[in-house]
Chains A and B, each alone.
Chain A
Amino acid sequence: MLDPSGILFWPEAGLMAVADLHLEKGSAAAKRGGLVPPWDSRLTLDRLLPRIRAFQPKTLVALGDSFHDRGGPARLPAAEADRLRRIAAQMRLIWVLGNHDPVPPEGLPGEAMQELHMGPLSFRHESRGRTPPRSGEAAEICGHHHPKARIATRGGTVSRPCFIGTEQRLILPAFGCYTGGLDVLHPAIAALFPRGGRAFLLGADRLFSFALAEIRRQAA
């Protein structure tokens, strides 16, 4: 089940997945000289916690790039770290590792792993692409690309973060509050869906569904 906040919830397994939190991206930018406002981790968690309360998952999977860089966990403000600890106390917290955070977050609870396999599903940061799926895997759930899509409407183009998926593959939108997006027509994403797919754009209280082919056709 896809939630218009950009979260995946699997009721049977009690599993909630969220991608690309990019916590402490603000301070990472500050380190490099871009003094952007520092409250991004707080805001990201502000948005995540109500969804956790709503779905009451048994397992929370962060699909990689949960921290913007390796130093992120150390820079996380104490209040935010406490909130993560409280989450971990209530459920199984799994850090799937991503390219931004290739090592487990130090000082924070939760299990870290490259991939999580559960039933027919694999949870990983970046799609395997054309590599054949591992045996027994029916579909993969991943993040990494921060998909967004643009729809030409009567009133101009509307751009929104989106899920994009087929029966074998689902990419979640980035959940972090400082994360940008990559258009689903960009080759990096489009190449993962050679036979088309469907994008679900996040709305205020529902998703909007468009076939990839439609997006491509009406982009012009």
Chain B
Amino acid sequence: MPPRRSAQTVPPSLDAAARTEGTIGTDAAAAPEDRPGEPPEAAASVAASAGSADSIGTNDAARPTRIPGGKRKSPAGKGAAADRPRARVTHKAEPGSIEATPSSRRTPVSRPASKDRAASGKTKAVPRKPENAAGTGDRAPPSGVLLPPRFASWFAGRGWRPRPHQLSVLETAQSGADVLLVAPTGGGKTLAGFLPSLVELAETGERGRLHTLYVSPLKALATDIARNLLDPVGEMALGLRVETRTGDTPADRRARQRAHPPEILLTTPESLLLLLSRPDAAEAFAGLSRIVIDEVHALAGIKRGDQLSLCLARLRLLAPEARRIGLSATVAWPDSLRAFVGTPEQPATLIEAPRGTPPALSMMLPEAHVPWSGRMGLAGASVILRRIEQADTTIVFVNTRAQSELLFAALWRINENTLPIALHHGSLDIEQRRRVEAAMARGTRGEGRDRLRAVIATSSLDLGIDWGGVDQVIQVGAPKGVSRLLQRIGRANHRMDEASNAVLVPANRFEVLECQAAIAGVEAMELDGEHPRPGGLDVLAQHILLMAASAPFTADALFDEVRLAAPYAALSRRDFDDTLGFVEDGGYALHAYERYRKLFRDSAGLIQIRGERVARQARMNAGTIVEAPVLKVRMGGPRGFTLGEIEESFANALRPGDAFLFAGRKLCFQRLRETVVEVSEGGPGDPVVPTYAGSKYPLTSGLAARVRRMLHDPSAWSAYPEPVREWLELQRERSLLPGPDDLLVEVFPRHGRFFLVAYCFEGRNAHQTLGMLLTRRLSRDGAAPLGFVATDYALALWCANPPGDIPLLFAPDMLGDDLEDWMAESSMLRRTFRNVAVIAGLIERQHPGQTGTRRQVTINSDLIYDVLRRHQPDHVLLRATRAEASGGLTDVDRLADMLVRVQDHIRVARLSRVSPLAIPVMLDIGREFVRNEADEDALLAETEALLAEAKGEAEPSTEELVLAPGHAQELRRLTRTPGGRERGRDRARERRRRTIPGGGRGLPA
């Protein structure tokens, strides 16, 4: 198939070459549409080139922050044995690697980092026979298939040879099958995805029709890919238009794209949804030939993925001929992704590129001692700094934004050689992030201040980056999962003959166990991660409304359509009908809103949207990313510059003069003006650190199982550092070591209380749920529980009276009524409901910057939740909430698995004092307070009394009144506290009520 037109060039590895300016991620692994502050994407005319990002990455980013205490000397010299590799995982490279042709072999360091990588072409395609391939799924590897001559000579002209998996994708795609390509970072994935399109477009010469749609989870990724496709297309004067369509695309360009569609359009799931919601969607996508879905692994299994899958199902109808190519990193569940890219009936063909050289992993401990508890890993700052000094360029990954700020400050306190170290997280200003990324991309080529030696990053750098210059990754704190760790290690590029270099720095003793388990997990390539769950009904509701905005439909046809989407393959007709009913008129039992219907059925039975206003409103609220309200942080007055965003709840807690740590600086809060937090440099006292909701990942069950096994097996302890070994030895002596399937529960007295510590290793969320349920049970048994604390590894409860029969306490039947009761009241459910209600369109998004006076008028989702729960407990949104929470915030599913597993395997150790293993969780008491909502009143009373006492005031009130019957119950509901049955003092309080304390004088009485 000789190309009719002149050959075009494409870079051999788009996803390598593309990243020279860096890409952006947020902690939610998402770049929401219309995110304010993001620069418009590169259009066809933009000639931004690699390394042209002019500002100096280290300038703002890496400015040392002064913290009280000033510069401190590094405790070097002490405990020099800290840097000891504990394990080295080295796999041999796959044989038969394709070598780069000699012309590409220049000194790697002197080459542009990205090309260096692309040229190394060491991967080999291994089209694997999927076990249960259906239909087109099963294909032989490409044998004699070659590129069209023009492409082949273009590759040769660049001194490159196409990689086998790229050819394999080309052949399979040309055969008409959907493809899932699983390849490590830098494996030439993106080029593989576009190769079939480019070859086709070169051959047919057809223009003026949308041929290929590319969807990426990151707006910036789409922009960079566009930029890098433009070069060859422009050079060859192919007349091929490559454009992006994201939330940043200006209206005039959107209009032009409608009138004159580009051949290749690069977009995000949210923008795709909006395109599909337009009345002209059928026309716009009718001729579509190919769909490329990048970073599939980052989308499948989350709500953005649910949404994308529904859009893909719609495209299946609009453009039945369009074939898909999914691009993914290595995942634990490739079959789910195959169904996601293809259809449940006809999954995509899996093509796997060989894995790169396995990473060299080691563990490094803080110098002085291994901390008992804490998660910030600041004790490791000096050894981290030394590792940074020894490498060219390092990414230091941490788990939360707060941790990144603290570690950044800790490193700069001891950074005597002023190594340029920068900070990167999802709440920083986009410009600052781009500068850091650009500096990282320059890598070792940078000069002086231009050269960055390390960046402290959160999951904001998990996706989309492929930097040639990075030669070391340091993970500070527990990795939480093997797949997650691998993803992060993959961010470090490496030369072809060297393993990428990664170091784990545990923050406490349990994390030493976890890091060791993760290293073993990487060695065994035991991938973990959540098995994709069924698609959310809230996402479906949003989709239904937006599809109605596009064109009328029948319920039957839409039901069939959505089941083409893998997450909805098993959707029941009842769930579908209820969701549709919700979209139509709220789905309330009495149909009270007949006249406010959003959808109506015409005489032909077609479901139509009520009007353009409803459609417009639906489009404005499209998307599945629900963010907590945030405020911009601005320095230097109204004409100053923006540093990033902090959550409004944190900002509200600040008062003028308060110091906080943000963007690597110590800032002084000046005032809140409209939606802007105005700050100045400095400030008195110790700064506080902003925290962000939902930034913690629980330990995966695979990794937890490994930790349990290693804990049990003393022969595995040799891998541990001395202090950890001693700790475990002591535990064996004083208490018990649980077997791999056992649940160890220790009971001991301390400070006049009885502690119960359960080592479940099921992650914080599941432990919190367990804590709530055990509290209910213990109070029924008369043990008078007083509180509990949950970590990823253990749960500690304390009671006034000794707890009774422990195995009985952990009987799985606790998941019955108690669970139902607690779920109903749980704040986790309320939080989940809020997201569900926003996505489903029940309440409008709270736009960032909405002022307080306005917000008091919007209806609080908690109140809706209460009303709905009371009047229609089986409402579809409540069902969606429960389904989501059981696997997420409450992790009931995982808890249930554990309770069943440990039945008859509960080992109880009744001790006279605290056990060695219990020390870490005991130290977390007070730090990790889990509030039982019933205690809110008690907390308020305590605080009130404390303040009164501190000021030498008398008790606010002594006068008591008899309470009218029924009142307490009513108010308890109002104030969202569950019944006070468990607590005697509540019962006593129910009978009395205080009148206005002294401050009410002057009021009529």
Q: Do A and B bind each other?
A: yes
Binding site for B on A (CB under 8 A): 1-2, 4-6, 10-13, 25-27, 29-31, 33-40, 43, 47, 50-51, 53-54, 119, 121, 138-139, 145-146, 150-158, 160, 165-168, 170, 174, 177-183, 185-186, 188, 198, 200-211, 214, 216-220
Write out the residue numbers on chain A whose beta carbons fall within 8 Å of the beta carbon of B867.
37, 39-40, 43, 177-178
B964: chain A residues at CB < 8 Å are: 50-51, 53-54
Q: A5 touching B971 by the CB < 8 A rule? A: yes
Find out whether the CB atom of B872 lies under 8 angstroms from the CB atom of A202.
no
Closest to B592 in A: A38
16 contacts between A and B (CB under 8 A): A1-B996, A1-B1005, A5-B971, A29-B859, A31-B596, A33-B598, A34-B842, A36-B586, A158-B940, A177-B863, A180-B857, A200-B1000, A204-B968, A205-B993, A206-B993, A209-B998
**Residues of A with C-beta under 8 A to B613:** 33
Nearest-Cβ distance from residue A160 to partner chain B, whole angstroms = 7
The answer to whether B654 and A30 have CB atoms under 8 Å apart is no
Bound-state CA distance A98–B598 (Å) is 31
Query: B221-229, B273-281, B929-937: which one contacts chain A?
Result: B929-937
Contact present for B586 and A30 (CB under 8 Å)? yes
Bound form: Cα–Cα A25–B864 in Å: 11
Q: Are A165 and B989 in contact (CB under 8 A)?
A: no
Q: Smallest CB-CB separation from B844: which chain A residue?
A: A34
Closest CB pairs A-B (n = 8): A167-B1002, A35-B586, A198-B999, A54-B964, A153-B939, A38-B592, A209-B997, A30-B596
Which of the 9-residue segments B50-58, B706-714, B772-780, B942-950 touches chain A? Answer: B942-950
Shortest CB-to-CB span from B926 to chain A, Å, is 8
Chain B 958-987 against A: per-residue CB contact (8 Å), 1 yes, 0 no? 000001101110111011010010000010
- Whether the Cβ atoms of A165 and B1003 lie closer than 8 Å is yes
0/1 string, B565-597, CB within 8 A of A gives 1: 000000000000000001001101010110010
Is A178's CB under 8 angstroms from B853's CB?
Answer: no
Contact, CB under 8 Å: A54 / B967: yes
Judge whether B859 and A204 touch: CB under 8 Å. no
Which residues of A sit under 8 angstroms from B967, Cβ to Cβ? Answer: 5, 50-51, 54, 205
A27 and B598 alpha carbons, distance in the complex (Å): 14
Please determine whether B852 and A183 come into contact, CB atoms closer than 8 angstroms: yes
Q: Is A4's CB under 8 angstroms from B856's CB?
A: no
Q: Is the CB of B956 within 8 A of A180?
A: no
Tell me the bound Cα distance from A150 to B993 in angstroms: 22
Give Cα distance in the complex from A158 to B359, angstroms: 47
B749: min CB distance to chain A, Å: 23
Chain B residues with CB below 8 A from A219, complex form: 652-655
CB pair B617–A4 under 8 Å, yes or no, is no
Chain A minimum-CB-distance residue to B977: A204
B204 within 8 A of A: no
Report the separation of the CA atoms of residues A140 and B557 in the bound assembly, to the nearest whole angstrom. Answer: 62
Which chain A residue has the least Cβ–Cβ distance from B973?
A47
Q: How far is the CA of A24 from the CA of B11 in the complex (A)?
A: 62
> Chain A residues near B582 (CB, 8 Å)?
35
Query: Does the CB pair B996–A207 fall under 8 Å?
Result: yes
State the CA gap A146–B852 with chains docked (Å).
11
Tell me if B992 is interfacial: C-beta within 8 Å of chain A: yes
Asked whether, in the complex, the Cβ of A207 is within 8 Å of the Cβ of B857, the reply is no
Which listed residue, A43, A168, A185, A204, touches B971 by the CB 8 Å rule?
A204
Pair B1000/A204 contact, Cβ less than 8 Å: no
User: Chain B residues with Cβ under 8 A from A1's Cβ?
Assistant: 995-996, 1003-1005
The reply on B35 being an interface residue by CB < 8 A is no
- For the complex, give the distance between the alpha carbons of A152 and B688 in Å: 15
Tell me which residues across on chain B come within 8 A of A201, comparing CB atoms.
940
Known A-B contacts A37-B868, A182-B853, A219-B653; A160 and B970 likewise in contact (beta carbons under 8 Å): no
Residue contact B974 to A38, C-beta cutoff 8 Å: no
Distance in angstroms from A170 CB to nearest chain B CB is 6
Bound together, the chains give a CA A38 to CA B428 distance in angstroms of 41
Contact A146 B939 (CB under 8 A): no
Q: Which residue of A lies closest to B998 (CB)?
A: A209
* Interface status of B658 (Cβ within 8 A of chain A): yes
* Of listed B593, B863, B977, B998, residue having the most chain A CB within 10 A: B863
Contacts of A179 in B (CB 8 A): 856, 860, 863
Evaluate contact between A205 and B931: CB separation under 8 angstroms: no
Given contacts A186-B852, A204-B975, A25 and B859 within 8 Å (CB-CB): yes
| Distance, CA A36 to CA B872, complexed state (A) | 12
Contact A200–B996 (Cβ < 8 Å)? yes
Q: Collect the chain A residues with CB atoms within 8 Å of residue B875's CB.
A: 37
Further pairs besides A150-B652, A206-B993: 13, Cβ < 8 Å: A1-B995, A11-B1004, A12-B1004, A27-B596, A34-B841, A35-B585, A38-B592, A182-B852, A202-B974, A203-B940, A206-B941, A210-B947, A220-B655
Indicate whether A205 sits within 8 Å of B971 (C-beta atoms), given known contacts A38-B588, A167-B1002, A181-B856: yes
Partner of B947, one of A54, A205, A214: A214
Q: Mark B301-327, 1 if CB is under 8 A from A, else 0.
A: 000000000000000000000000000
Report chain B residues within 8 Å CB of A186. Answer: 852-853
Q: State in angstroms the CA–CA spacing of A220 and B660 once bound together.
A: 11
Given known A5-B974, A27-B593, contact A205–B852 (CB-CB < 8 A): no
Distance of B321 from chain A, by nearest CB (Å)? 37
Q: Are B939 and A204 in contact (CB under 8 A)?
A: no
Known A4-B971, A201-B940: A156·B999 in contact at CB below 8 Å: no
Residues from chain A with a CB closer than 8 A to the CB of B592 are 27, 38
Q: Which of B842-857 contact A (CB under 8 A)?
A: 842-844, 852-853, 855-857
Contact assessment for B996 and A156 in the assembled complex, using a CB-CB cutoff below 8 Å: no
Pick the residue among A37, A155, A167, A203 that contacts B588 (CB under 8 A).
A37
Residues of A with C-beta under 8 A to B588: 35, 37-38
CA distance A214 to B947 in the complex (A): 8
Are A178 and B968 also in contact (CB < 8 A) when A183-B652, A204-B975 are?
Answer: no
Contact A204 B972 (CB under 8 A): yes
Scoring B957, B967, B999, B1001 by chain A CB atoms within 10 A of each residue's CB, the highest score goes to B999
Which residues of chain B come closer than 8 Å to A39, judged between CB atoms?
867, 870-871
B944 touches which of A2, A182, A209, A216 (Cβ 8 Å): A209
> Smallest CB–CB gap between B277 and chain A, Å?
15
Could you tell me if A35 and B842 are in contact, using CB atoms closer than 8 angstroms? yes
B989–A206 touching, CB < 8 Å: yes
* Assembly CA distance A216 to B654 (angstroms): 9
Q: Does B554 contact A (CB under 8 A)?
A: no
With the chains together, A174 CA to B1000 CA distance in Å? 19
Residues B943 and A153 in contact, CB atoms below 8 Å apart: yes
User: In the complex, which of the residues A119, A177, A188, A206 has the most CB atoms of chain B within 10 Å of its own CB atom?
Assistant: A206
Residues of A contacting B939 with CB < 8 Å? 153-156, 158
Which residues of chain B have C-beta atoms less than 8 A from A204's C-beta?
A: 937, 968, 971-972, 975, 977, 980, 986, 989-990
